[in-house]
Amino acid sequence: MFRAFSLITTLLVALPASAQAYERISDRATFVDTVGGKDLKIALYGLTLNVRDNGTITGRAAGWDIVGSWTWEDGYFCRDMDWSGYPIEYNCQLVEVNGDRIRFTVDQGTGDDAVLRIR
C-alpha cells in the first residue's frame, strides 16, 4: 500500500522512453486535444487517470478512487488531487508527449517525472 501511495502522491514512476524525443505541450488546447476522452495509464500499478477538459480529474489506483482538478498556468499543467482521502499536493508540471506516451515532470520540469500511456 505504501508503495502505491508513494506512486500516486508523487506521480513519479517512469516507463522506459523510446528513442524518439518528447515534444513539449505548451498550451491548454493542445493538451486537451492530446488527452481528451482518453485514459492515462500505468498498468503495472493499476493506475488510470482521466483528465477532462472541464478541469476535473478522475481515476483509480490500487483499487481506490482518485479525484481532483486541474488548470493550465503559464505553459504548465497544474493539478490538485485526492486518492481516497490522501491529499496529493498541488503541483505545476511540464508536459511532453511522444506517440502514445505522455510525460509529466513535477516542479515545472525540474523534478522527477512520470510516463503514462495514452489509451
Q: At the topology level of CATH, where does 2-118 sit?
A: Lipocalin (2.40.128)
Locate the domains of the chain by residue range.
2-118
Q: What is the DSSP letter of 26?
A: -
Q: What angle do CA 71, 94, 6 make, to 5 degrees?
A: 90
For the full predicted model, state whether its pTM sits above 0.85: no
What pLDDT digit, counting tens, does each position of 48-106 carry?
999 999 999 999 999 999 999 999 999 999 999 999 999 999 999 999 999 999 999 99
Give 79's strand partners: 70, 91
Sequence-distant (≥ 6) Cβ neighbours of residue 1 within 8 angstroms: 62
Write down the pLDDT at residue 45. Answer: 83
List the beta bridge partners of residue 78. Answer: 71, 92
Helix (H) / strand (E) element for 92: namely strand 86-98
106, 112 Cβ separation under 8 angstroms: yes
pLDDT tens-digit profile of 93-107?
999 999 999 999 999
With H, G, I as helix, E, B as strand and everything else as coil, classify residue 71: strand
